[in-house]
Amino acid sequence: MNITILGAGAWGSALAIALAQRHNVLLWGRNEKMIAAASAQRENVIYLPGLHLPATLIVTADFAQAIDHVSPHANANDSLLIVASSVAGIRSLAEQLRDLPIPNIVWLCKGFEEQTRLLPHQIVRQVLGDAIPAGALSGPSFAQEVAHGMPCALAIATDHPALSERVVAAVHGGNIRVYSTDDMVGVEVGGAVKNIMAIATGIADGLNLGLNARAALITRGLAEITRLGIALGGRSETFMGLSGVGDLILTCTGDLSRNRKVGLGLARGKSLADVVAELGHVAEGVRCAAAVRALAQERGVDMPITNAVAGVLFDGDAPAAMVELLLARTPREESA
């Protein structure tokens, strides 16, 4: 299968490494200097240092070449276009793709667009319309582990059965399992809001509050994710799956989690600006928190952990005050 991956960050590069073992994969990035170095050295030094890019993997900064790789004359019936940008970049990429001969589009990003509070599938539909088969590939997956060939499981969310089958054919195999669903809202809400919960658990861990506190935050965080997801049209069972509880557990407990690192840094007294600068990568939970807080207020959804995290990130609240605020909440039924 011909596969183009637009976005040569950590996740795009990791998936390209994994899929190049079985398919004709092209990895595109907009940073010409970085891409030239990666192509020559067969290593993405910035995002995946120490990991070899297969000789069969095409690495290019030529956008026309990337689209031509999956265009109709390149056998669109056996082609897949994957966007591996951040949520902040998906709109501009979709605009570049408008009116081009693309067979389909699948994205890897997780979050809400800051200004519009739209999910990725809403952005794509707004720009490209409904005619192009589209879907979200999500689930608990650290890029470094995927690049190393370690096992993981993902979910493809789309309302196009043929695209679902194509993604499964392309990605499922080796150490990667792919499951299918048509609940795009549920999958995307789970993937977005879990990053906020990871910041919260990072703060708790950084304050040395213990494993009990971490478990409580993850559990109540799942309740928040589910409430918002259902309010936006998702299905409750989705949040008990890979893109819900699975991604939540990984991001809240894994040492490779960028969002958890944000919480750890804040708990240790660092400023948000310093924490983000030290990461050197996008931490979607920071961008997502303000949008989710506003959306929850607009929809009347109770999200105390999200509100507390947003208070630390944007309102100057101290991390310890966030914990006190959550502990001081009135008792209620667990299902509430």
Q: Consecutive sets of 10 residues in the chain, 336 residues long: mean pLDDT of each?
A: 96 98 96 96 95 97 96 72 96 96 96 96 97 97 96 97 97 96 98 97 96 95 97 98 98 96 96 90 87 96 96 95 84 76
Domain, as residue range, for 50: 2-182
Residues 41 and 92 in one domain: yes
Residues 173 and 199 in one domain: no
Residues 35 and 140 in one domain: yes
pLDDT on residue 336: 65
With beta carbons less than 8 A apart as the criterion, state whether 137 and 107 touch: yes
Catalytic residue among 110, 194, 261, 270: 194
* pTM of model > 0.75: yes
Residues 19 and 128 in one domain: yes
In order of 20, 25, 113, 176, the CA distances from 171 in angstroms are: 10, 12, 27, 7
Residues 154 and 65 in one domain: yes
Residues 281 and 167 in one domain: no
Residue 45 lies in a domain: yes
pLDDT on residue 58: 98
Residue 153: strand pairing partners: 177
Residue 83 lies in a domain: yes
With beta carbons less than 8 A apart as the criterion, state whether 121 and 136 touch: yes
110 is an active site residue: no
Backbone torsions φ then ψ of 143, nearest 5 degrees: -55, -45
Residues 97 and 212 in one domain: no
Residues 273 and 323 in one domain: yes
C-alpha radius of gyration, the chain, whole number: 20
**Which of 123, 152, 182 finishes a domain?**
182
The tally of domains found in the chain comes to: 2
The CATH number of whichever domain residue 130 belongs to comes to 3.40.50.720
